[in-house]
A and B are shown apart, each in its own frame.
Chain A
Amino acid sequence: MPETLVFYLLAGLAIGASALVIGQRNPMYSVMLLIASFGALAGLYIQLEAPFVAVAQIIIYAGAIMVLFLFVVMLLNAPQEDAAEWDRLHPLRQPGIARFGAMLGLLLVVQLAWALIRAAEIGAPVGSRSDAAAVSSVREVGRVLFTDYMFAFEATSILILVAMVGAVVLARREDAGEAEGEER
Chain B
Amino acid sequence: MDLRFLIQLGIIGLTFFMLINASALLVYAERKVMGFMQQRYGPYLVGPHGLLQPLADILKLLMKEELRPRGADRWLFTLAPILSVTAAFAAFAAVPWGAETTLFGLLDEPVKLGVADINVGVLVVFAITSMGVYGIVLAGWSSNSKYSLLGGLRSSAQMISYELSYATALAAVILLAGSLSLRETVDAQAGYWFGVIPRWYVFLQPLGFIIYMIAGVAETNRAPFDFPEAEQELVAGYNTEYSSVRFALFPQAEYINMTTMAAVATDLYLGGWHGPFLPPEYGWIWFLVKVGAILFAYIWVRWTVPRYRYDQLMRFGWKWLFPASVVNLIVTAALVLALNA
Is B61's CB within 8 Å of the partner chain A? no
> Is there contact, CB below 8 Å, between B123 and A74?
no
Interface string of B72-87 (1 = CB under 8 A from A): 0101100100000000
Which chain A positions have C-beta within 8 A of B163? 63-64
Are A64 and B134 in touch, CB under 8 angstroms?
no
A50 to chain B, nearest CB (A): 10
Residues of A within 8 A of B256 (CB): none
Give the nearest-CB partner of B73 in chain A: A28
Which residues of chain B in 269-313 are interfacial with respect to chain A, using CB atoms and an 8 Å cutoff?
Answer: 311
Q: How large is the interface on A (under 10, 10 to 19, 20 to 34, 35 or more residues)?
A: 20 to 34
> B149: CB under 8 A from chain A?
yes
Q: Is A68 at the interface (CB under 8 A from chain B)? A: yes
Nearest residue (CB) in A for B124 is A55
How far, in angstroms, from A11 to B299 measured CA to CA in the complex?
A: 44
Question: Chain A residues with Cβ under 8 A from B123's Cβ?
Answer: 52, 55-56, 59
Identify which of B76, B119, B141 contacts A51 (C-beta below 8 A).
B119
Q: Is A62 in the interface zone, CB < 8 Å from B?
A: yes
- What is the CA–CA distance of A138 and B122 in the complex, to the nearest angstrom? 12
Q: Knowing A70-B137, A70-B156, A71-B153 touch, does A62 contact B120 (C-beta < 8 A)? A: no
* Set B79, B131, B180: member contacting A63, Cβ < 8 A: B131
Are A67 and B156 CB-contacts (below 8 A) given A28-B73, A28-B76, A51-B120?
yes
B92 to chain A, nearest CB (A): 16
Q: Does B46 contact A (CB under 8 A)?
A: no
Instruction: Return A27 CB to nearest CB of chain B, in Å.
Output: 11
- State A140–B99 Cα separation when bound (angstroms): 29
The A-contacting residues of B in range 137-157, CB under 8 angstroms, are 137-138, 140-142, 149, 152-153, 156-157
Cα A70 to Cα B136 in complex, Å, equals: 12
Q: Mark A68-79, 1 if CB is under 8 A from B, else 0.
A: 101100110100
Interface residues on B, range: 20 to 34
Q: Is B330 an interface residue (CB 8 A)?
A: no
A35 pairs with B156, CB closer than 8 A: no
A13 at the binding interface (Cβ < 8 Å): no
In the complex, are the beta carbons of A67 and B127 less than 8 A apart? no
Which residues of chain B have C-beta atoms less than 8 A from A74's C-beta? 137, 140-141, 149, 152-153, 156
Kindly provide the distance from the CB of A67 to the nearest chain B CB, expressed in whole angstroms. 5
CB <8 Å contact, A35 and B119? no
CB-CB < 8 A to B140: which residues of A? 74
**Interface contact A62-B153, CB-CB below 8 Å:** no
Collect the chain B residues with CB atoms within 8 Å of residue A52's CB. 120, 123, 180
A63 close to B141 (CB less than 8 A): no
A66 to B132, CA, bound (A): 13
- Cα distance A55–B134 when bound, in Å? 17
Q: Determine whether the beta carbon of A138 is less than 8 Å from that of B141.
A: no
B238-281: CB near A (< 8 Å → 1, else 0) gives 00000000000000000000000000000000000000000000
Q: Contacts A28-B76, A74-B153; is A55 near B127 (CB within 8 Å)? A: yes
- How far does the alpha carbon of A77 sit from the alpha carbon of B152 in the complex, in Å? 13
* Contact present for A59 and B137 (CB under 8 Å): no
User: Are B159 and A67 in contact (CB-based, < 8 A)?
Assistant: yes
Tell which of A55, A75, A77 has the most Cβ of chain B within 10 Å. A55
Contact yes or no, A35 B118, CB < 8 A = no
Shortest C-beta distance, A61 to chain B (Å), equals: 10
CA distance A35 to B133 in the complex (A): 13
Smallest beta-carbon distance B75→chain A, Å? 8
Q: Does B16 make an interface contact (CB < 8 A)?
A: no
The interface centre, meaning the residue of A52, A64, A74, A138 with most chain B CB atoms within 10 A of its CB, is A74
Known contacts A51-B118, A63-B127, A74-B152; is-contact A35 B134 (Cβ 8 Å)? yes
Cβ contact within 8 Å between B120 and A70:
no
Cβ proximity bits B99-143 to A, threshold 8 Å, 1 near / 0 not: 000000000000000000011100110111011011001101110
Complex Cα distance, B141 from A26, in Å, reads: 12
For window 130-184 of A, CB contacts with B under 8 Å fall at 138, 183
Chain A residues positioned under 8 Å from B120 (CB to CB)? 51-52, 55, 138
Interfacial chain B residues near A71, Cβ < 8 Å: 137, 153, 156-157, 160
Question: A32 — which chain B residues lie within 8 A by C-beta?
Answer: 76, 79, 134, 138
A-B contacts, 15 of them at CB < 8 A, read A32-B134, A35-B134, A55-B124, A56-B123, A58-B130, A58-B131, A62-B130, A64-B130, A64-B163, A67-B130, A67-B133, A67-B156, A67-B159, A67-B160, A71-B153
* Nearest 5 A/B pairs, CB to CB: A63-B130, A58-B127, A55-B123, A59-B127, A71-B156
Binding site for A on B (CB under 8 A): 73, 75-76, 79, 118-120, 123-124, 126-128, 130-131, 133-134, 137-138, 140-142, 149, 152-153, 156-157, 159-160, 163, 180, 311
Known: A55-B123, A71-B156, A71-B157. 7 other contacts (CB 8 A): A58-B128, A58-B130, A58-B131, A62-B130, A63-B127, A67-B134, A74-B156
